[in-house]
Amino acid sequence: MTNRFEEARNRIKEFEGLLWGDYKENAVVFCRAYLEFHLGHFKEALQLVNSLLQDYKDVYYALDGRTLLLRCYFKLMDYDQLQTQGESFRQFLRRLGGKEALSPSYLEAYSEFLKNISQLGKIMTGLPTKREEKMGRFVERLK
């Protein structure tokens, strides 16, 4: 482990004692998950994110946790889970957007992330993307 990552791990431990309130556990778990992801420990990061998503105190931890979850599945090449969790995230965003609990710019950014990671997953598995499907239908109409 490089010094930067070791320093980050130490900072998380150091500041954990200084945090208080309802968000302490979420903050520590999210930071640990993010660190594990950047160390390449994707399964460990997944476990941490899943525990975070079971009991999040702030919607932004849930949103960023879900993006990290999808990134882990992509890195682990688990494209089935990527698609399943991506659809779950899409429904979560719809619920938040309908309640106006999320600003339109945040909603758009997370939706764009979902669209892009979904397309990457399809490309990696050889499934046609929406654009390719549209092109195929267009070509069929021309015949």
Predicted TM-score (pTM) of the model is: 0.83
Helix and strand totals (H; E) in the chain: 7, 0
The tens digit of pLDDT for each residue in 42-92 reads: 999 999 999 999 988 888 999 999 999 999 999 999 999 999 999 999 999
Q: How many CB atoms lie within 10 A of CB 96?
A: 17
The tens digit of pLDDT for each residue in 91-101 reads: 999 888 776 67
Evaluate whether 59 touches 93 at the Cβ level (below 8 Å): no
Q: Is the dihedral of CA 101, 106, 108, 114 positive or negative?
A: negative
Structure tokens at 64: 């960023």
Q: Whole-angstrom Cα distance, residue 59 to residue 136?
A: 39
